Structure 1
């Protein structure tokens, strides 16, 4: 059976509103675009169950006791596709339920959790989690990744059914607004979660002229605010407010080495803001040196070089990253995998 108007799709995620992160953004846009095509999209998320806080990040809630309800939802939901987005208890329960019910399912690879583990615990943890990634994803009919680099990485882990599905950027980012405040120029911005895996301290300690701004929140925010009093911390911003504050930027600095795509990269480029980053999965799939940013081990050098780049060329480089095209590709790769479940 092909995916068509009336088809039913279930997204399973361990992260959902009020959390603000890339996974939530992706699911929201996919759901909207797929429903425009006449399909039914349900989201199974922690808010529907009793939860407990995750010790490392207390804002994340874990649905530890949801196994039976998840199995029932999958069994009784008459879904044509079950797509699992995360690594938490709900993802594991949904995976187990589909296997027991002999129901095909697909998965998406959003976070390089093996690199998160290395940042926090060392090389031994990364190697262990790489093996867990293979175990976790291998039963899926298809694993979707957002870049060629991520696909190559998962194939290197031993997975065989991996397809690329690029993300999109909200159309509001293609209209540049006005910065709400006057800052000393040039303005360098970090946008993302304030946590060790984002390598934010490389940005905060960088010797850059002008002003450094951090947009986002996370477990390290209070500590880093006190350590770096000359940096402007704006906290979480969304929608029009986010666009306005981003319009203050001359350069987006992305020091993270653990992203799979870096949604903030295409959002910045859509606003005509060049990006300085390391040559890692995500940035190296989007950034072209001298066109829309610079990739360099020296993040300061990359950031300064970005000041000479054309905003128009930055915007042009991501004009094809739309959520409509992203949804079309998502449905297309799901359709191509139908009938291939192990």
Structure 2
């Protein structure tokens, strides 16, 4: 099958969306499919307001239409709701092409955290975007239930996986001269990640933040006792997960949290709030502690068996997740060759 995936999130961004699409495309290729990606690397872009690391493609419709028509895909998947996703959606609707979409990110909550736009307005727009799809793929059952309650249709589960070879238990190197126990956060340093709920905690040992984002300069000044390691490529993150006595995940808005699985695969127990994402990934597995008192969760997580934490992570694979993705695609009846790429 010829599969076209359109995404506004792509390298050099380092986040769960990029990682999910990269791993899924790799697995689909292994299944024998031909995957073609439309990403911001092909377009002129400008920085996203309040988040300059994210690049928004400028006036992409004509080029997106030409790419889809030229590839003549059997199935179209729109991964994001940005300019490229909007252009692909417009073309598919104009040409009568079935497509699937994905709900990777709680953008209504992210936007509300930045400019206080009412959630009802954002969700109405998101609902309109996704309800044109033949299936909207979501990472957890909690998110599916939430979206269905908000009027989203054709919601399907597409879980996530973890590379258990890259992320595995091993030598637990010291992190500089910081004192144990070491509580580690890995991810974007942005307001929607609720990082300060972690940094404010009175905890023994030391706190580490690995990642970059718009809040980093302020947090460095405000929390001088915290170790801010900066950003690292994916293959180097395992040493931080292994060194962590507890992996702290303070987010209240993530739809899944791939870093949860990566930490668990390295044997690091999780401390998090009992919200969608941690509830679905960690739940009552014994791989972490979920509590509205995050300090209590951090301290209880110190007592967990790292071997058991690893075994829980081994239940997730990218192959199984990609088979789910594959099953939700909507191949077109007949060929999509001959489509008109001319902008209207």
TM interval, shorter chain, is: over 0.9
The 3 A distance-change label for structure 1 pair 280 and 328 is same
Please report how far the alpha carbon of residue 53 of structure 1 lies from its aligned counterpart in structure 2 after TM superposition. 1.5
SS of equivalent residue, structure 2 residue 119: helix
Tell me what 1:267 maps to: 262
The question of whether the paired residues in 1 share the 8 Å contact of 2:51 and 2:214 is answered with yes
The question of whether the paired residues in 2 share the 8 Å contact of 1:179 and 1:246 is answered with no
Q: CA RMSD of the aligned region, Å?
A: 1.5
Tell me what 1:47 maps to: 41
User: Alignment partner for residue 85 of structure 1, among 61, 79, 82?
Assistant: 79
> Is the deviation greater in 282-291 or in 50-59?
282-291
What are the equivalent positions in structure 2 for 1:243-322 lying under 5 Å apart? 243-289=238-284, 291-322=286-317
Tell me what 2:109 maps to: 115
User: Alignment partner for residue 203 of structure 1, among 198, 202, 226?
Assistant: 198
Tell me what 1:3 maps to: none
Please report how far the alpha carbon of residue 180 of structure 1 lies from its aligned counterpart in structure 2 after TM superposition. 4.9
User: Alignment partner for residue 10 of structure 2, among 7, 16, 19?
Assistant: 16
Please give the TM-score of this superposition, normalised by the length of structure 2. Answer: 0.93
Please say if 1:137 is aligned against 2:130.
yes
> Is the deviation greater in 178-187 or in 196-205?
178-187
Tell me what 1:165 maps to: 158
Matched residues, number: 331
Please say if 1:212 is aligned against 2:220.
no
Q: Using the alignment, how far apart are the partners of 1:203 and 1:338 within structure 2?
A: 48
Q: Using the alignment, how far apart are the partners of 1:178 and 1:57 within structure 2?
A: 34
User: Alignment partner for residue 323 of structure 1, among 303, 318, 322?
Assistant: 318
User: Alignment partner for residue 96 of structure 2, among 74, 96, 102?
Assistant: 102
User: Alignment partner for residue 125 of structure 1, among 95, 110, 118?
Assistant: 118
> Structure 2: where are the runs of 5+ without partners?
334-344
Tell me what 2:179 maps to: 184
SS of equivalent residue, structure 2 residue 5: strand
The 3 A distance-change label for structure 1 pair 125 and 78 is same
Please report how far the alpha carbon of residue 103 of structure 1 lies from its aligned counterpart in structure 2 after TM superposition. 0.4
Q: Using the alignment, how far apart are the partners of 1:301 and 1:89 within structure 2?
A: 42
Larger relative contact order, structure 1 or 2 (CA cutoff 8 Å, min sep 6):
2
The question of whether the paired residues in 1 share the 8 Å contact of 2:75 and 2:332 is answered with no
SS of equivalent residue, structure 1 residue 60: strand
The question of whether the paired residues in 1 share the 8 Å contact of 2:287 and 2:304 is answered with yes
Q: Using the alignment, how far apart are the partners of 1:214 and 1:179 within structure 2?
A: 16
Q: Deviations over 1:273-303 (max 9, x none)?
A: 1111111111111113471111111110111
Q: Using the alignment, how far apart are the partners of 1:100 and 1:73 within structure 2?
A: 15
Q: Using the alignment, how far apart are the partners of 2:332 and 2:179 within structure 1?
A: 55
